Amino acid sequence: MKFFSSLGIAVKALLSHKTRTFLASLGVLIGIGSVIVMVAIGKGSQKEVMDVIAGMGENLITVNAGEMKRRGGRLRLTGNVTTLKIRDANRILEEIGEVERAAPFEEKRMTAKFGNNSAETTLAGSTADFSVIRGYSLQSGEYFSERDAKTANRVAIIGMTAVKNLFGEEDPLGQVVKVHFIPFKIIGVFEPKGVDTNGLDQDDLLLIPISTYMRRIVNQTHITRIFVQASSRKNIAKASEKIRELLRETHKLTDDRNDDFTLISQLDLEEMKLETTELFTKLIVGVAAISLLVGGIGILAVMLISVKERTREIGIRRAVGATRRDIICQFLYESLIIGFLGGGLGIVLGVGLTLGLTHWGHWTLILDPNSIWIASWACAGLGVLFGVFPAIKASKLDPMEALTIE
């Protein structure tokens, strides 16, 4: 009975000042709305990054020659290490049970020519497994045959960016491009794949057999990279450990020497990228918290004005029997309602914006149910937190003084 009557009084008071009520809840509205959208953006970008990492290859472990260090946010190889060989890749595949595939890899930026067109592209040497490990699929044509690899044939599979640069609209299949005066016959075209985590175009590529690359392009025996596919996600760590042991053994590294190679698994990449996105999330949550605080101060200001304006009303209510508690409840309910009103509208706004941006905009936003849940508690908290002070202030007024105030 008491609860409903206090609530009724609060609702009536708010209804009689509709504009003020709305303005007071506006701060909370914007705060809650932005929290929900921001969190959705954060979650969305996190998912995008994860998708890109997954797109680099399923259960991928990359073995890089030499030590790798992080510079300017990207991983770079340091030093010139010549110990990583093609046979390392073969041994990894043959001797480690948790490894599904392994492909040696070597690449170089070179100029490719077709007719009068020439364009810089990445000339890469590997095996047919490379495309499986890294998730490339053929749009047309075929992969290298075993014979191509054995005889170091001059055949190539081309990526979509290189196709556009060299051939324009023409069909590249069966054509011959020249790299370093060596002619390569195009036997396959990759499906476009987009950019990797470092923002590099994965379609600007001309893939040739590793044997061809080693013999005809660079004339060396060491390689810079081996792409390894673990048999399952949970085997990634185990496979990495075994690869390390194997390589240390084959490279005859004694215990006092560091690895002359660097292993980076899909899990490592995810962890690194998550760090970045988590920092981003913390940042936006911080900004949102500040906007919520501003919203709360809005409630505080309006409630203080309201108490001041209604001093006489408080006096009248006290005179006819309202206790301090009744007065506190009345004003607290008012600020709670303002909080919930703003919060409710804010949730509608935030969810609406999120869904709208996902539907009509080209954004990846993921609605987090937790953020809605937390937002609801936040607006209740704001209502109480910033309503308590004015409410107590109202209740402390001496009834007689409140009645006689002008």
Partner 1 sequence: MNLIEMNSICKSYRNIGFETRVLKDVTLHIEEGDYISIMGPSGAGKSTLMAIMGCLSQPSSGEYLLDGEEVGQLNDRKLSRVRNEKIGFVFQAFHLLPGVTALENVILPLVYAKRPPGNIKERARELLAKVGMEHRLHHTPGQLSGGEQQRVTIARSLINDPRIILADEPTGNLDSKNGIETMKTFDNLVKEGKTIVLITHDLEVAQHAGRIVSIRDGQIASDSDHEERGSIHSL
Binding site for partner 1 (CB under 8 A): 1, 5, 9, 12, 16, 312-313, 315-326, 398-400, 403-404
Minimum CB separation from partner 1 for residue 398, in Å?
Answer: 6
**CA pair distance 105, 297, nearest whole angstrom:** 60
Minimum CB separation from partner 1 for residue 22, in Å?
Answer: 18
Minimum CB separation from partner 1 for residue 386, in Å?
Answer: 24
Indicate the residue among 316 and 353 with the shorter CB distance to partner 1: 316
Indicate the residue among 287 and 405 with the shorter CB distance to partner 1: 405
Amino acid letter for position 236: I
CA of 230: how far to CAs of 49, 60, 134, 270, in Å?
Answer: 21, 6, 12, 16
Minimum CB separation from partner 1 for residue 340, in Å?
Answer: 23
Taking the C-alpha atoms of 342, 344, 345 and 350 in order, what is their torsion angle to the nearest 10 degrees? 110
Q: Answer for the pair 61, 230: CB distance below 8 angstroms, yes or no.
A: yes
Indicate the residue among 307 and 378 with the shorter CB distance to partner 1: 307
Indicate the residue among 113 and 324 with the shorter CB distance to partner 1: 324
Written as six digits, the tokens of 382 are 């704001």
Minimum CB separation from partner 1 for residue 338, in Å?
Answer: 19
Nearest to 92 by CA among 121, 127, 63, 117: 63
Burial of 21 per CB tally in 10 Å (0-12, 13-18, 19+): buried
Minimum CB separation from partner 1 for residue 393, in Å?
Answer: 15
Indicate the residue among 9 and 228 with the shorter CB distance to partner 1: 9
Q: Answer for the pair 170, 105: CB distance below 8 angstroms, yes or no.
A: no
Q: Answer for the pair 264, 75: CB distance below 8 angstroms, yes or no.
A: yes
Minimum CB separation from partner 1 for residue 327, in Å?
Answer: 10
CA of 90: how far to CAs of 41, 129, 132, in Å?
Answer: 43, 12, 16
Indicate the residue among 341 and 397 with the shorter CB distance to partner 1: 397
Indicate the residue among 4 and 360 with the shorter CB distance to partner 1: 4
Q: Answer for the pair 180, 217: CB distance below 8 angstroms, yes or no.
A: yes
